[in-house]
Structure 1
Amino acid sequence: MKINNTYLFLLLLLCQFVFCQNNDRKEFCGFVRADSLSVEGVNIVNETSQKYAVTDKNGFFLLFLKEGDVLVFSAVNLVTLRKKLQKSDLDNPILQIQMQIESIPLKEVIIKEDSKISAENLGILSKPAKKYTVAERRLYTARSGLLDRPLNWMSGRTKQLRKELAVSEKEQLMAKMEYLFEENFYIETLKINKDYIRDFQLYCIDNADFANSLKTKNKTLSKFYIITLAKNYNKITVYEN
């Protein structure tokens, strides 16, 4: 009986010690980032209290912490970080942690000419990089540089290049129209006179909404706009004739 009482006393003393240890801690909000981006799914283990947490989709986590606690941060593709908390860390309302992306050195990479590897497929770009036409590159060159811009403006070169760019853009839109819509579509569906097809195409690409649908390669929207434009165009030609 005496042994049982002693054991119970020691157990209560241990529980009280653990409770006091946890009671000293306060709940803190932390934020983990890597290369200026918040990181989801980072595992945080408090080695001192044996508690853990995981960052959410915005990189935040909650843990009871105190000065002297040792935290271990780990995640796939990130360098594991071990940090002992200082008083200055807990003086801020949010504990901010900066982690490093783990780089994997490659011996050699050979890309074949027919390979489909691109910056877009690799996730470097969210969408294909814009490809500039000759006219766009000329205009950009004329408008860049400390001296090029005022000199080209005074000589009228910038104005001329803008005209060339506008013509180039119209030619591209015309090419897209010819690809999307066959001649029979103009004559049978839109009821456009064969001799007026070219003039009608120019009329269409002057419409901002239709031009934008061509640029975004939205065939359904382009078809919707061209049918409406055809009705208006036919009314104009009837009135003029």
Structure 2
Amino acid sequence: MQKLLYLLILIFFSTVAVAQDEDRELLRGTVLYLNSVVTGENVINANTRKATITNNAGQFEMLVKKGDTLVFSAVNYKFKSVVVTQDILDKRRMVVEVKEKVTELDEVVVTPESKERFLELEKEKYKKYDYERDQYTRLQNYATNSGTFYNGINFVNIFNALRGKKKKDQRNNEPLKVSQFLREMYEDEFFVVDLGIPQEDIGKFLFFCDDKIKPADIAGENREFKLLEFLVDQSIAYKKIPKE
């Protein structure tokens, strides 16, 4: 008799659960952080107490109806809840943007958009480098017996070396371009990781910088971080240009 009672209770709750699902529609969504997909984000329907997680593409599926509350949580991102509206149901799709959870006050996410902090960390990074082997000084084999140094980088000799390339070809009298200097000065990693410029756009970005500053303005003593600040500003401006 007791077993029969348990069976009837189980059937009752199963029927209720099925009825709840029948009233709901399948909603597909994507979770993003700064336009990048978020994988492994917990997605919970607080009304039905059903849960799922986002896949490698940041996508999820959930049965919902108007008024349901979807809860989004993950270790690295702030808790967020979204109430399902009729507009969401009509579209049957939703995009949820989450914010990063900062657990330590002295740990910050630095991007070119936070320019002051970015430049401060770049300055500290340069202080730690051995510039005879540093990745940012690709012209390390040029003579450095004369000229101006700043934190180990000989700006004058880099310019002289590049200008010497031009003089070898007497038929070419074009002035030195900023893009040529920057290409010799920095590795691809600097443009991609620190400035957020896609690798395939580095050349276009350098040409974009050509008419924004003169080579003489970034050569000489105490110009290294003026150059960094210039590149940060221009990377922000370049990324705002609509893509064709």
TM-score, normalization: structure 2?
0.42
Q: Which has the larger radius of gyration?
A: 1
Higher helix share: 1
Q: Which has the higher contact order (CA 8 A, sep 6+)?
A: 2
TM-score, normalization: structure 1?
0.43
